[in-house]
Amino acid sequence: MGIGAKIRLIRIHKKMTQQQFIEGICTHAYLSKVENEQVKPSKSFLKKLSSKLKLNLDDFFNEDKEAIVTSIRSISSEFRSDLTISENELLLLKLYAKDFFASELYLKIYSTLIKYYVTEEVTIAKHLYHDSIKYILEDDINNEDDMDMDRYYYYFACGNLFHAVQDFAIADEYFSKAERLSDNCSIEEMGKLYFNISIVKMKVADHPEVALEYVNKSYALLKKIGGDAYLTKVLILKSIQLTNLNAVDEALTYLEKARQLVCSKDLLINAVIAFHMGNIYKKKNYIDVAVDWYKKNIQLNIENKKEELAITGYQQLAKAYYDIKRWDIANDYLECALRISETRELRYNWVETKRIQIELYKRFDIKKYELALKEVIEYCKVHNQTSFIYDLASELGKYYFSNRYYKKSAEMLLLALESKDTGRTEEIDSDLGVIP
């Protein structure tokens, strides 16, 4: 990568326009020529830019390959250890990602960058992932035993990314790849991996017992090293899965243990607990109590400026009002959930919400019911939400059959059969999020 291209990447990383970048330094035309490699930047330009950005640009233009390799390994190692990284180190890795290195170094670079940006700015993480698959070829890395841990961290980071964008089938594939390479992982790392596998298995596995098996493994490991933050999330996840298996009294016990560990100022975790308290009391048929917990979940998430996490609260409120035949109120809550899902491009949440709305339409508008089913099936095919297709196509196929649309019915039932192995559990859950 030339100096001009590096300067352009630095500007983009700083989220500055060309005008902002060169203010007080040079003309817009001069910067354009520099970035397009038409002129070599002058020493005066570089000195002024270095002063303005408070960067030692010599670090970024270093051509010493041995020093660069040492830097990549050091940054990657420190990040894996404590999940901290400076802005300059991030920028260095972005620059290095455009150079030519062995697969081991690309694995270190992209596992670090993707894992960092998943929690900071997921759009950047997605771009980095697509860049990574140009450089990290499965055939090149699969037979290299000395890269097992680098592959592990890369697959783990990709699993976190696809969980964040709600493509749970691909997240499951990446976490499964990581599990196969986990022999040399620490107890903490294994506990985190099992937790994350359990999270995605809830979304894609036919049998909830599979997800429960992984959360039990995670709990056994993380309990050995302590740490309230990890244990709280594991206890909540265990409670969720016991609720899904209708073991509500045991689920309530684990959720109460989690409540005792969590700080009252932790709005995020308290919102998750409130949601699952609602689920438990709904299972116990205390609907008024459940509704209060769901409203608390929404309130805490909005207070925490995490509107997207309120989606499942709106969904469960809609289901509660649906059960008492207040369909107008139910639909209002569903529209809130759909608006947020569309704005944030949360595909799994959007499909879940539309499924609830389909049940609503079935009660009072059969034409909307049919159109919504067709819309959601096409959406699932386009956006890789295959775990929903079996149920949706089966339902539409039966509807067509009952109305004597036999050809359409056959098409839908065939689609259902082709999708049969990608079933999912039915319980809506407030997503805890994976452990980074």
User: How far apart are alpha carbons 77 and 112 in whole angstroms?
Assistant: 9
Q: Looking at residue 425, what is its pLDDT?
A: 47
| Same domain, yes or no: 152 and 93 | yes
Torsion sign (Cα): 222, 223, 227, 231 = positive
Neighbouring residues of 250: CB distance < 8 A, sequence distance ≥ 6: 242
| Same domain, yes or no: 121 and 136 | yes
Query: Quick check: is 107 in a domain?
Result: yes
Query: Quick check: is 41 in a domain?
Result: yes
Q: Which of 213, 215, 212, 225 is nearest to 186 (CA)?
A: 225
| Same domain, yes or no: 115 and 153 | yes
Q: 10 lies in which domain range?
A: 3-60
Q: Which of 298, 318, 316 is nearest to 307 (CA)?
A: 298
Query: Quick check: is 304 in a domain?
Result: no
| 38 secondary structure, DSSP code | S
In this structure, the chain runs to a length of 436
| Same domain, yes or no: 23 and 119 | no
Neighbouring residues of 332: CB distance < 8 A, sequence distance ≥ 6: none
| Same domain, yes or no: 125 and 142 | yes
Q: How far is CA 173 from CA 104, 113, 134, 160, 170, in A?
A: 21, 20, 19, 11, 5
Query: Quick check: is 147 in a domain?
Result: yes
| Same domain, yes or no: 103 and 116 | yes
| Same domain, yes or no: 50 and 131 | no
pLDDT (tens digit, 0 to 9) for every residue of the chain, 436 residues total?
A: 688 888 888 888 888 888 888 888 888 898 888 888 898 888 888 888 888 888 777 777 777 788 888 989 999 999 999 899 998 899 889 888 877 778 889 999 999 999 999 998 999 999 999 999 988 877 656 666 668 899 999 999 999 999 999 899 999 999 999 999 999 999 999 999 999 999 999 888 777 889 999 999 999 999 888 777 788 999 999 999 999 889 999 999 999 999 999 888 899 999 999 999 999 999 999 999 999 999 999 999 999 999 999 999 999 999 999 988 898 999 999 999 999 999 999 998 999 999 999 999 998 889 999 999 999 999 999 988 888 999 999 999 999 999 999 999 999 999 999 887 555 544 556 666 777 7
Q: Which two tokens stand for residue 352?
A: 């879940």
DSSP H or E run through 42:
none
- In degrees rounded to 5, what are phi and psi of residue 428? -75, 140
User: How far apart are alpha carbons 15 and 130 in whole angstroms?
Assistant: 20
**Structural contact between residues 138 and 41, judged by C-beta atoms closer than 8 angstroms:** no
Query: Quick check: is 238 in a domain?
Result: no
Q: Looking at residue 19, what is its pLDDT?
A: 85
Neighbouring CB atoms inside 10 A of 110's CB total: 25
Neighbouring CB atoms inside 10 A of 184's CB total: 9
Number of domains within the chain: 2
| Same domain, yes or no: 48 and 96 | no
Query: Quick check: is 239 in a domain?
Result: no
Place of tokens 């592990």: 152
Q: What is the pLDDT of residues 39-78, one digit of tens each?
A: 888 888 888 888 888 877 777 777 778 888 898 999 999 9
| Same domain, yes or no: 90 and 46 | no
Report the CATH number that the domain containing residue 55 is assigned in CATH.
1.10.260.40
- Which amino acid type is present at position 227? G
Q: Which of 85, 33, 34, 27 is nearest to 61 (CA)?
A: 34
User: How far apart are alpha carbons 299 and 320 in whole angstroms?
Assistant: 17
Query: Quick check: is 272 in a domain?
Result: no
Q: Which of 45, 7, 42 is nearest to 25 (CA)?
A: 45
| Same domain, yes or no: 76 and 173 | yes
Query: Quick check: is 117 in a domain?
Result: yes
Q: Looking at residue 14, what is its pLDDT?
A: 82
Which residue stretches of 84-186 are H helix? Answer: 87-96, 103-120, 122-135, 138-141, 148-164, 168-180
Domain boundary pick from 178, 211, 231 = 178
Q: How far is CA 49 from CA 27, 45, 259, 430, in A?
A: 13, 6, 51, 47
Q: Looking at residue 175, what is its pLDDT?
A: 97
Residue 296, Ramachandran bin (φ over 0: left; ψ between -120 and 50: alpha; else beta): alpha
Q: Looking at residue 428, what is its pLDDT?
A: 58
Domain boundary pick from 147, 178, 209 = 178
| Same domain, yes or no: 36 and 71 | no
Domain boundary pick from 163, 178, 193 = 178
Q: Which of 343, 325, 322, 346 is nearest to 334 (CA)?
A: 322
- Which amino acid type is present at position 173? E
| 165 secondary structure, DSSP code | T
Neighbouring residues of 8: CB distance < 8 A, sequence distance ≥ 6: 35
Which residue stretches of 165-207 are H helix? Answer: 168-180, 187-204
| Same domain, yes or no: 97 and 165 | yes
**Structural contact between residues 324 and 316, judged by C-beta atoms closer than 8 angstroms:** no
Q: Which of 341, 388, 348, 383 is nearest to 163 (CA)?
A: 348
